[in-house]
Structure 1
């Protein structure tokens, strides 16, 4: 394949178009998203709890959730990083897409009021509650090699967990998308290097994700590759599946950005 060299003028023009598109997108966005959700997490009405699961440290779990239902993922027994992947249950070739999630909202910082996109430009999840804001959508989870280097033999890792849960769902390795690491305080410094920021963690952090389509979701509870703790000690994580409620017309997840509005329009078209 022949390499195409672009002139400085063409590069400058492309950059100008990108910055103009970014400016318009940011102008549409609200000046401020909601404040982080309060701690401690409020109790869930027992009548609305469909199922509750505790994922032990190092293990994984998957489930199918219906549109409108909510998953609360909570650190009730200490800090842990939870890695998430997801597929459209009706058509599993549609899956979580973190690059589009970042690109279409002009930020790597997922927090309350943001949405998570699929690779078809549709909204998979709305972040309706979040006490943390310290989630990593850039690095992905641990592998057998990274764990062996850091902890030695005998520890479970995120990549192998995702392969197992995908296989149980009738999927293959190639079906696994780039994974979102929840409760992973990763930031990029001025030199473009990944940094672990422990001060961004809070005891009892939780996040609530509302499903905007029927979804197969997989979760792995393994330490993040940048976690500086030299010991392999992930704590159990509690996941609660909560019955659906109809969002308000002014729901900020549906109105925060032009891209989110279009994503929900795509959801509506797919339902016709």
Structure 2
């Protein structure tokens, strides 16, 4: 399945366990703010636990995305970028809220998200700042669903960006066998709990 999401739009899709989700930047400064919820509605992406248990402050290849119950939702199997923002939260655009409503969810179901293709740094005044030019056309990231998921994607501009966000291509297909090497014990345990 292929689907292009233009800039400043939203889309949602159910994804079965074992499928790969590949996002591709279709323009400069693309931003794909992604919410992930288990299809049973019990498991939701938990950014603090994902980062803390794997000793990182960014999303990158080789990371397991964990739920608030410590279960693996998805694994980042590949990325052309070594930094995807997860510190600035989701962008609650009206279109994203409409996508949530299609699945019986509401604004109360907004939670921490990943802003794929976006990098945030610290500026001269020690404040978080958008890093322009981080994503170029063709940049990509691939996730493998570790359980059945509902995936919500908004291409609204990042909250700190000063430029419009470009579109993102989404492709869902069979995931390659195997996975990242060198996972931390906490990540391995999260994967074992869903297998």
TM-score (norm 2): 0.91
SS at match of 1:167: helix
Q: 1:103 to 1:76 in 2, by over 3 A?
A: same
Q: Does 1:108 align with 2:57?
A: yes
2:31 to 81, 86, 108: 81
Q: Which has the larger radius of gyration?
A: 1
Residue equivalent to 1:252? 180
Q: Does 1:163 align with 2:97?
A: yes
Deviation track 1:243-264 (CA, whole Å, cap 9, x = no partner) reads 244x32xx326x4111111111
> Normalized per residue, which structure has more helix?
1
**Structure 1: which 5+ residue stretches go unaligned?**
1-50, 143-157
Residue equivalent to 1:237? 168
Residue equivalent to 2:85? 136
Deviation track 1:111-140 (CA, whole Å, cap 9, x = no partner) reads 111111111101111111101123111112
Cα distance in 1 for partners of 2:15, 2:60 equals 21
Indicate if the aligned counterparts of 2:46 and 2:67 stay in contact, CA closer than 8 A: yes
Q: Which has the higher contact order (CA 8 A, sep 6+)?
A: 2
Summarize the alignment of residues 189-204 of structure 1 with structure 2, pairs less than 5 Å apart.
193-204=127-138
**Structure 2: which 5+ residue stretches go unaligned?**
none
Indicate if the aligned counterparts of 1:132 and 1:202 stay in contact, CA closer than 8 A: no
Cα distance in 2 for partners of 1:88, 1:185 equals 26
SS at match of 2:12: strand
1:58 to 2, 5, 8: 8
Number of matched pairs = 195
TM-score (norm 1): 0.66
SS at match of 1:162: helix
Indicate if the aligned counterparts of 1:56 and 1:236 stay in contact, CA closer than 8 A: yes
When the two chains are superposed, the root-mean-square deviation of aligned CA atoms in Å is 1.9
